[in-house]
Amino acid sequence: MLGSSSLIALAPMVCVTAAAIAAMTAEAFRAPGESLPIGPLGYIGLVGAAAASFFLWDRHASSYGVVVADNFGLFVTWILILVGLLSLAASSATYIAGRRPSGEYYALMLFAIAGMILMAMATDLLVIFLALEVLSLAVYVLTGIGRDSPIATEAAFKYFLLGAFSSAFFLYGIAFTYGLSGSTRLDRIAGTVPAFASSPTQLRWVALGLLMVGFAFKVSAVPFHMWTPDAYEGAPSVVTGFMSAGVKTAAFAAFVRVFPGALAPFKTEWIGVLQIVAVATMIGGTIVALVQTSVKRMLAYSSIAHGGYMLVALTSVGDAGKGAVLFYLLTYAVANLGAFGVVASIERLGRPVGEVKDFAGLATDRPLLAALMTTFLLSLGGIPPFGGFVAKWYVFTAAIQAGYTWLAVVGVLTSVVAVYFYLRIVVMMYMTPAGSLPVPSSGSPPARAALVASAAIALYLGILPAEVLGWASASIRSLF
């Protein structure tokens, strides 16, 4: 029987890993000055992973009980594959693929995706930690891949130091959890509730708190968010979009498995803290984003606020709340990746785009890019008819159904405030005279296709969300 196989559950991750190794090998044998189409190797690996995920749907394949290809993990895997495909396509428009060894760049991105997929499917705390380190190390290097830039080097160094610090917290949390439950497997932890409950309350708080700190860092939750604006600003724009979408998606997938999943019997001990963190994240991210003049830092704090909305869904422990997390992850990933993709495309035109004022007159110079950027910003702001509106409505509805109306109120208020800094860029593009002359450029067809596809998905999720919402809800049933 397929479900009894010990290897089939690893098929999506193996496809991506094989593509990463192939890209690395091709780069090693590339002659100086020779141009090799290394990027397509990534597409092949990701398409193979998508096909394997489709084949595994509803089969609940397991690998030694520590990696499970259930529908929940497969849904998240599809999001990660989409993020990977869009990121690879957008990368063709950046200076990295043209001036740096492209095999190095593509291999790192594919290894990061492999770690994200493993993190989404892992059902053991040690495997989650292993996957977290695999994706983190690749993302650290991608952040500083522009080695000639002091800002990129500083951002990568800060990200590495704080990431190592948070990993230590997470590892100590695993150690305390093992000491209390006698296992690191999530199903066994959930099955040792009496032993866990009979332990001293202070030790339970320490174990839960340390695990929460580790996850909070990866999802950029306040007050563990300080690495985010520096890393987002220093990394190349495509890498920033990939990092903001992929890392957050994988981290929230593991977050859902551990807290609302394995540690659900103790929700009275962790849910209050998580709600406070969610409120602080929504308010902190939104307020600080209001005063930013740098576009990438503004989008970084916007990403922090969106993490707060996802935490609201996570604390809404009913099936609706967990389904809302998955749908929100998809809509956020598409819109945020698209926004950073537009920034990368404008940078390639030779036009400055570091500040909000640099977007002045973009609708005159590049009407398509302006329209795409408007689509992504409106979706992030939760304005209909785009997917962000449906995602926020679903999250706030789930919070109200779970009895946390006050969380929904805070979310709605911060969403209204956030519309200001999104519309500020739109006003610059359409209602402010051009600050520079148009720069002729042939552009990059794959990058343009990725941006158009992202905008189409954002619009589709806003107009016809029912089918995707149904898949999200169905995937939840395999986990709970």
Whether the Cβ atoms of residue 141 and residue 156 lie closer than 8 Å to each other: yes
Which run of H or E residues covers position 242? helix 237-256
Distance CA 221, CA 239 (A): 20
Residues 6+ apart with CB under 8 A from 58: 71
For residue 111, what are the contacts with CB-CB under 8 A and spacing of at least 6? 17, 20, 134, 135, 138
Residue with tokens 């803290």: 273
Quote the DSSP letter at residue 122. Answer: B
Locate tokens 């650290």: which residue? 140
Q: Nearest Cα to 284, choosing from 210, 209, 224, 339?
A: 224
Q: State the pLDDT at residue 195.
A: 67
User: What is the residue-level pLDDT of the chain in tens, covering all 480 positions?
Assistant: 344 457 888 999 999 999 999 988 888 877 666 666 778 889 999 999 999 999 998 888 888 888 998 899 999 999 999 999 999 988 875 544 445 567 788 999 999 999 999 999 999 999 999 999 999 999 999 998 877 778 888 889 889 988 888 899 999 999 999 988 888 898 888 777 766 666 777 888 899 999 999 999 989 898 888 888 989 988 888 999 999 999 999 999 999 999 888 888 888 888 999 999 999 999 999 999 999 888 999 999 999 999 999 999 888 866 556 688 899 999 999 999 999 999 888 887 777 677 888 888 888 888 898 999 999 999 999 998 999 999 999 999 989 988 889 999 999 999 999 999 999 999 999 987 765 545 545 457 888 889 999 999 999 999 999 899 888 888 887 776
**CB burial readout 161-179, b (16+ within 10 A) else e:** ebbeebbebbbbbbebbbe
pLDDT of residue 144: 87
CA 368, distance to chain mean position in Å, is 26
Helical H segments across 316-444, by residue range: 319-348, 362-365, 367-380, 387-401, 405-431
Domain residue ranges in the chain: 2-477
* Straight-line distance from the first to the last Cα atom of the chain, in angstroms, rounded to the nearest whole number: 23
Alpha-carbon gap, residue 378 to 382, rounded angstroms: 6
The whole-number pLDDT of residue 1 equals: 39
The reported pLDDT for the residue numbered 443 is 59
> How far is residue 68's CA from residue 63's CA, in Å, rounded to a whole number?
6
The pTM of this model reads 0.93
Per-residue burial over 56-86, b if 16 or more Cβ lie within 10 Å, else e, is bbebbbbbeebbbbbbbbbbbbbbbbbbbbb
- How many beta carbons lie within 10 A of that of residue 4, not counting itself? 8
Yes or no: say if 418 and 305 are a contact pair by the CB < 8 Å rule: yes
Bridge partners of 61?
69
pLDDT at 115: 95
Residues making up the chain, counted from first to last: 480
Can you give the pLDDT at residue 33?
63
User: Which among 287, 269, 299, 277 has a CA at the least distance from the CA of 224?
Assistant: 277
Look up residue 209 and give its two tokens.
Answer: 């708190």
Element (H, E) at 210: helix 201-218
The CA R_g of the chain, rounded to the nearest whole Å, is 21
480 in helix, strand or coil?
Answer: coil
